[in-house]
Amino acid sequence: MCGIVGIVGKSNVNQALYDALTVLQHRGQDAAGIVTCDRDRLFLRKENGLVRDVFHQRHMQRLVGTMGLGHVRYPTAGSSTSAEAQPFYVNSPYGITLAHNGNLTNVEQLSKELYEADLRHVNTNSDSEVLLNVFAHELARERKLRPTEEDIFKAVRGVHERCRGGYAALAMVTGYGLVGFRDPNGIRPIVYGKRETDEGTEYMVASESVALDALGFEVIRDLAPGEAVYITEDGRIFTRQCADNPKYAPCIFEHVYLARPDSIIDGILVYKARLRMGEKLAEKILRERPDHGIDVVIPIPDTSRTSAVELANRLGVKFREGFVKNRYIGRTFIMPGQAARKKSVRQKLNAIELEFRGKNVLLVDDSIVRGTTCRQIIQMAREAGAKNVYFCSAAPEVRYPNVYGIDMPSAHELIAHNRTVDEVAELIGADWLIYQDLGDLVDAVREGNPAITQFDCSVFDGNYVTGDVNEFYLGQIERSRNDAARSMVNVDNEVMGLHNDGGEPK
Ligand SMILES: O=P(O)(O)OC[C@H]1O[C@H](OP(=O)(O)OP(=O)(O)O)[C@H](O)[C@@H]1O
Ligand SMILES: NC(=O)CC[C@H](N)C(=O)O
Ligand SMILES: [Mg+2]
């Protein structure tokens, strides 16, 4: 899950884009980029690193223009080289730039089509560059000097027909406008809104509503699955359904971990969904361990805090902050490479002995993925003198890879893959372990918007909502994107005019 944002404003949008990206930083820490458009010129800055490190004053000064888009990246395809940082640019037609959150599952076929039928060259291994070229080709088909909203929507329709997987994307057509679109299953989130200024109405489209809140934009609504929004450079706005059979099946993991709690996604306040997860998990604990004897409930900061508060409440047990987080270290799960993740947990969290010594503690996390965090945390709790360490997860067992924009490509790296709960408990060193039931997780989220009847829960149940993910594809990403394979790729990040990661030529 990357973060995307686009603004059509009445004055320079560089600062607003920068600020919005800092609000979306939790969605990607690997690279950041901003492109702005000033009449017929584009200005682009992108590099590996956090937003605050990528943009210096000298870059900001050059990012002029009243329309632009930005991206924070967490790679799910290609490599983490800065060549694959976003936004991507293609010069024809019009000059189009694109920022993408998600992951395409038919990249191989699309790359072949782009090369053989569309006569287009793609220079990286990023699926987002493929997406951009498909959009550009579909728009070029109209052969118009000045594209209208009809042309734009037709191009999005063409993208939906050709691309598979998860995508929430923003494309800027130089000199014309900004288009946002969401895949026909609505897997990844995207929301838009407006802000009134003395010069007129400004529009923002972003991954999460918090970006709009922080910049004083009022949310209009989420894009529906398959829908597109087009905002012209002079501030006219159009929306259109561009898919034939759209289906609402958003990613449930946004609610578990990815999104900020203060975001509202598809009408569901993430914070409340997490509170309900805590409530339901407490009920399961009371069912399975009526004589639990827990003295204190301790969350593993940050994400599990919300569900842990409500869980403790329901159990009628004290809630305590037993771990202090170093606020200068980012999220560990979205770091590339297991070595970095492992090292970060200890640097990131430190135990307050007082809350552990001689007590039966229940540690709460939002999810257990590779088991990197919980293994170390349980050990730290024991070192701090806990009598018994119990563990619970507000999400069910993560057993299957994700193919729609979360970097979990390899089933074998998932601690619950092919293991029972007791086996996982033993492996992580917990006295007992309880996972949320999937039905309860779905209910906890759905309660926020009962109109949504389906979620993509593929990491928990192996059902991929696009219906076209097969063993062959899963085997392919398992081999090419597991941690060991990626650590072999020697990435030289020095930026050349045109460059790639030195990976296998296609
Ligand atoms: O089992 P694992 O592979 O360790 O992954 C799961 C952990 O990773 C995430 O935390 P992270 O530190 O990324 O972010 P947070 O501060 O938002 O909780 C998540 O909240 C879990 O704590
Ligand atoms: N996490 C994401 O949304 C990743 C977007 C895109 N697939 C990339 O790797 O850059
Ligand atoms: Mg965490």
- Cα–Cα distance for residue pair 159/243, rounded to 1 Å: 9
Contact 230, 153 (CB under 8 A): yes
Ligand 2 nearest-atom number relative to CA 74: 1
Domain coverage including residue 374 = 270-325+346-447
Instruction: For residue 34, tell me if it sits in a domain.
Output: yes
Is 389 in a helix, a strand, or coil? Answer: strand
pTM of the model: 0.95
Residues 70 and 208 in one domain: yes
- Give the total number of structural domains in the chain: 2
60 pLDDT above the threshold of 80:
yes
Q: How many other CB atoms sit within 10 Å of the CB of residue 291?
A: 4
Chosen domain end from 420, 447, 474: 447
User: What's the CA gap between 331 and 140, in Å, rounded?
Assistant: 40
Reported as a single tens digit per residue, the pLDDT across 327-358 is 888 887 767 777 767 677 888 999 999 999 99
Q: What are the Cα distances from residue 424, in Å, to 3, 95, 205, 331, 430? A: 32, 51, 41, 23, 9
Distance 13 CA to ligand 2 centre (A): 24
Q: φ and ψ at 28, to 5 degrees? A: 180, 130
Instruction: Tell me: do 234 and 292 sit in the same domain.
Output: no
Does any domain span residue 462?
A: no
Judge whether residue 497 has pLDDT over 90.
no
Statement to judge: residues 304 and 418 lie in one domain: yes
For residue 409, being part of any structural domain is answered with: yes
CATH at residue 319? 3.40.50.2020
Q: Find out whether 17 and 45 touch, Cβ atoms under 8 Å.
A: no
Q: What is the mean pLDDT of residues 201-205?
A: 98
**Does the Cβ of 366 fall within 6 Å of ligand 1?**
yes
d(CA 279, CA 308): 9
Contact residues for 387 (Cβ-Cβ < 8 A; gap 6+): 358, 359, 360
Confirm or reject: Cβ of 107 under 6 Å from ligand 2.
no
Q: Which domain-ending residue is among 412, 428, 447?
A: 447
Q: For the ranges 65-74, 373-382, 385-394, 477-486, which has the lowest average pLDDT?
A: 477-486
Determine the residue of 30, 257, 415 to mutate for testing ligand 1's pocket, defined as the one with the most ligand atoms within 8 A of the Cβ atom: 257
- Is-contact 176 147, C-beta < 8 A? yes
Evaluated on CA atoms 346, 348, 353, 356, the torsion sign reads negative
243 lies in the same domain as 298: no
Please tell me the residue having the least CA distance from ligand 2 atom 1. 1
Average pLDDT of the segment spanning 90-106: 97
74 phi and psi, to 5 degrees?
A: -135, 100
Of the candidate ranges 14-28, 283-297, 465-479, the one whose mean pLDDT is the lowest: 465-479
Q: What secondary structure letter does DSSP report for 387?
A: S
In this structure, is residue 398 part of a structural domain?
A: yes
Single out the residue in 404, 419, 447 at which a domain terminates.
447
**Is residue 201 domain-shared with residue 55, that is, in the same domain?**
yes
Task: Give the phi and the psi of residue 435 in degrees, each rounded to 5.
Answer: -100, 150
303 assigned ligand-binding residue: yes
**How do 237-241 and 3-8 pair as beta strands?**
unpaired
Q: Does 38 reside within a domain?
A: yes
Which ipTM score applies to this complex?
A: 0.98
CB of residue 163 inside a 6 A radius of ligand 2: no
DSSP β-bridge partners for residue 229 = 180, 239
Cα-Cα-Cα-Cα torsion 68, 151, 132, 497, nearest 10 degrees, comes to -60
Question: Does ligand 1 have an atom closer than 6 angstroms to the CB of 49?
Answer: no
Q: Could you tell me the pLDDT band of residue 504, with boundaries at 50, 70 and 90?
A: low
| Rounded Cα distance, 360 and 20, in Å | 42
431 in a known ligand binding site:
no
Q: How many helices (H) and strands (E) does the chain have?
A: 17, 22
pLDDT at 100 over 60: yes
β-bridge pairing 349-351 and 360-365:
unpaired
So what's the pLDDT on residue 333? 74
Residues 242 and 304 both lie in one domain: no
Q: What is d(CA 331, CA 365) in angstroms, rounded to the nearest whole number?
A: 14
Packing angle, helices 149-162 and 127-140, rounded to 10 = 130
Residue with tokens 């189009």: 96
Buried b (16+ CB within 10 A) or exposed e, 119-128: ebebebbbbb
**Which residue lies with its CA nearest to atom 10 of ligand 1?**
333
Residue 291 is labelled as binding a ligand? no
Are 237 and 313 found together in one domain?
no
Domain match, 20 and 70 both: yes
Q: Are 222 and 368 within one domain?
A: no
Q: Which amino acid is at 80?
A: S
Q: Rounded distance, CA 495 to CA 412, Å? A: 34
- CA-wise closest residue to 118 among 128, 109, 105: 109
What is the domain-level CATH number for residue 213?
3.60.20.10
Range in 300-304, 397-401, 478-482 the model is least confident about: 478-482
Task: Verify that 172 and 313 share a domain, yes or no.
Answer: no
Based on the domain organization, do 304 and 243 belong to the same domain? no
Cβ atoms < 10 Å from Cβ of 327: 9
The verdict on whether 2 is a catalytic residue reads yes
Task: Confirm whether 341 is domain-assigned.
Answer: no
**Does residue 474 fall inside a structural domain?**
no
Collapse the DSSP code of 32 into the 3-class scheme (helix H, G, I; strand E, B; otherwise coil) and give the result.
strand
Return the number of other C-beta atoms located less than 10 Å from residue 245's C-beta.
9
Tell me the per-residue pLDDT of 352-367, one tens digit each, with 9 for 90 and over: 999 999 999 999 999 9
Q: Is the CB of 102 under 6 A from ligand 2?
A: yes
Dihedral pair phi/psi, residue 256, rounded to 5°: -70, -50
Claim to verify: residue 26 and residue 129 sit in the same structural domain: yes
What element of type H or E holds 340? helix 338-348
DSSP 8-state assignment for residue 258: I
Quick check: 308 and 404 in contact, CB under 8 A?
no
Q: Is 335 part of any domain?
A: no
Separation of CA 372 and ligand 1 centre (Å): 8
